[in-house]
């Protein structure tokens, strides 16, 4: 079907955002028609397995993901660190495309006293927020543990609002009956929930990026998160939020408690978080996305574009020692055609096979 449609209306390039059957069909169709096919690495599916009692599947799933992405003309990832991790795992032709945030939607001006009142929060109270899927891989119970510690340190005037749903929703509601579970929210309703809170707890350690971090910062919230993915790129520890070494659960709790023990520091931190997001515009990300897919981005332009897309607020250079270092370099994607030829496209991917494709060094090193 895709071949028929694309034969009639031929795209300049194809971007595949899923590694499932639909994504593989798109890659095959593009290869058969000679259309460059690029892929995006959005989810660490292999890392999820240990949270569902299927750790033995991690290696074969990782092998499948590598095989899938290496069969495309290039793979876009959200941060330099993720690029480096995937490169070390055998992924090829990697390029960095940062993420943006809609600062007009996610805005502190949407703060609602009426909504806070329904939560039982007055002007002087602090509202802690979590937004995301309620699933094992999201580590939500660590946020609840941090909240309990925050309650103990503050002594009162604190509420915890949970936005989202998932397989753990009912169990979490039973275990923490004093938390406010607001269910799945979207659009302006979601933006109002963000803006009406004060502190955002993001305990996940399985993200490829974590868009909620940017949404919370744009909404003027002080974010506590592990130092990787979006938080590593955009949060300046102690200035626009709090960063914790990955794997340090106690450190996460301590960072959350530190915020409620120094409430006088929160207003300035929240203002700086919002200011940092004002430079992270989707228009710049879209421009770079088009450059990468159409092969117009040379190495020098890539470096400038990556800096713009990852945050031209200057936070990256302040935290990492400049814009030209290891964290801000990029690799040029293959600019000609998909590496999946039409003949190979008809073959079934061997899910359990490890590193079956020969490495092809087509990028400047």
In a domain, 363, yes or no: no
In a domain, 360, yes or no: no
In a domain, 350, yes or no: no
* Residues of the domain holding 250: 108-277
Count of the separate structural domains present in the chain: 2
In a domain, 46, yes or no: yes
Cα distance between residue 360 and residue 9, in whole Å = 31
Rounded mean pLDDT of the chain? 83
Q: Specify whether 93 is located in the same domain as 180.
A: no
Q: Specify whether 174 is located in the same domain as 216.
A: yes
Looking up residue 148, the CATH number of its domain turns out to be 3.40.50.2000
In a domain, 321, yes or no: yes
Structure tokens of 243? 């960063």
In a domain, 359, yes or no: no
Looking up residue 23, the CATH number of its domain turns out to be 3.40.50
Q: Specify whether 36 is located in the same domain as 52.
A: yes
Q: Is the pLDDT of residue 327 over 90?
A: no
Q: Is the pLDDT of residue 258 over 90?
A: yes
Q: Specify whether 183 is located in the same domain as 304.
A: no
Cα distance between residue 203 and residue 197, in whole Å = 17
Q: Specify whether 42 is located in the same domain as 188.
A: no
In a domain, 354, yes or no: no
Q: Which of 70-84, 141-155, 326-340 has the highest mean pLDDT?
A: 141-155
Per-residue confidence (pLDDT) for residue 350, from 0 to 100: 29
Q: Is the pLDDT of residue 117 over 60?
A: yes
Cα distance between residue 196 and residue 190, in whole Å = 10
Q: Specify whether 212 is located in the same domain as 136.
A: yes
**Final residue before a domain boundary, out of 227, 261, 277:** 277
On the CB side of 192, CA atoms within 13 Å amount to 12
Q: Specify whether 229 is located in the same domain as 113.
A: yes
- pLDDT tens digits for range 29-38: 999 999 999 9
- Average pLDDT (265-275) is 97
Q: Specify whether 147 is located in the same domain as 245.
A: yes
- Give how far Cα 72 sits from Cα of 29, 78, 160, Å: 12, 17, 44
Tell which residue, 287, 352, 270, has the closest CA to residue 98: 287
Q: Specify whether 194 is located in the same domain as 66.
A: no
Residue 271 CB neighbour total at 10 angstroms: 13
Per-residue confidence (pLDDT) for residue 291, from 0 to 100: 87
Degrees, nearest 5: CA angle 117-119-124: 60
- Split at pLDDT 50, 70, 90, the class of 59 is confident
- Average pLDDT (249-257) is 98
In a domain, 364, yes or no: no
Q: Specify whether 158 is located in the same domain as 239.
A: yes
Q: Specify whether 143 is located in the same domain as 251.
A: yes
Using CB atoms within 10 Å of the CB of residue 276, give its burial: 0 to 12 exposed, 13 to 18 middle, 19+ buried. buried
Per-residue confidence (pLDDT) for residue 52, from 0 to 100: 67
Q: Specify whether 85 is located in the same domain as 176.
A: no
């Amino acid at each position: 079907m895709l071949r028929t449609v694309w034969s009639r209306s031929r795209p300049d390039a194809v971007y595949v955002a899923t590694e499932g059957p639909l994504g593989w069909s798109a890659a095959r169709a593009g290869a058969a028609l000679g259309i460059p096919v690029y892929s995006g690495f959005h989810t660490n599916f292999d890392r999820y397995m240990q949270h569902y009692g299927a750790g033995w599947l991690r290696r074969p799933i990782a092998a499948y993901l590598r095989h899938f992405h290496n069969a495309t003309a290039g793979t876009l990832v959200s941060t330099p660190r993720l690029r480096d991790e995937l490169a070390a795992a055998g992924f090829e032709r990697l390029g960095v495309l940062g993420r943006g945030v809609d600062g007009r939607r996610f805005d502190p001006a949407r703060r609602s006293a009426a909504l806070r009142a329904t939560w039982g929060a007055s002007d002087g109270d602090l509202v802690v927020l979590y937004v995301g899927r309620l699933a094992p891989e999201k580590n939500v119970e660590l946020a609840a543990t941090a909240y309990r510690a925050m309650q103990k340190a503050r002594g009162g005037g604190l509420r915890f609002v949970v936005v989202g749903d998932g397989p753990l929703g009912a169990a979490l509601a039973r275990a923490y009956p004093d938390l406010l579970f607001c269910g799945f929210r979207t659009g302006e309703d979601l933006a109002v929930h963000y803006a009406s809170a004060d502190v955002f707890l993001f305990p996940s350690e399985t993200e490829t990026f974590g868009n909620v971090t940017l949404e919370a910062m744009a909404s003027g919230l002080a974010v506590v998160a592990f130092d990787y993915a979006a938080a590593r790129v955009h949060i300046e520890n102690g200035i626009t939020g709090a960063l914790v070494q990955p794997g340090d659960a106690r450190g996460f709790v301590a960072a959350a408690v530190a915020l409620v023990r120094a409430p006088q520091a929160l207003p300035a931190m929240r203002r700086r978080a919002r200011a940092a997001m004002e430079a992270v515009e989707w228009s710049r990300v879209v421009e770079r996305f088009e450059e990468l897919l159409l092969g117009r981005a040379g190495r020098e332009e890539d470096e400038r574009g990556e800096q713009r897309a990852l945050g031209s607020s200057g936070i990256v250079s302040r935290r990492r020692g400049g814009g030209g270092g290891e964290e801000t370099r990029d690799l040029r994607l293959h600019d000609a055609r998909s590496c999946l030829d039409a003949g190979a496209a008809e073959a079934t991917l061997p899910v359990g096979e490890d590193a079956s494709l020969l490495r092809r060094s087509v990028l400047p090193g």
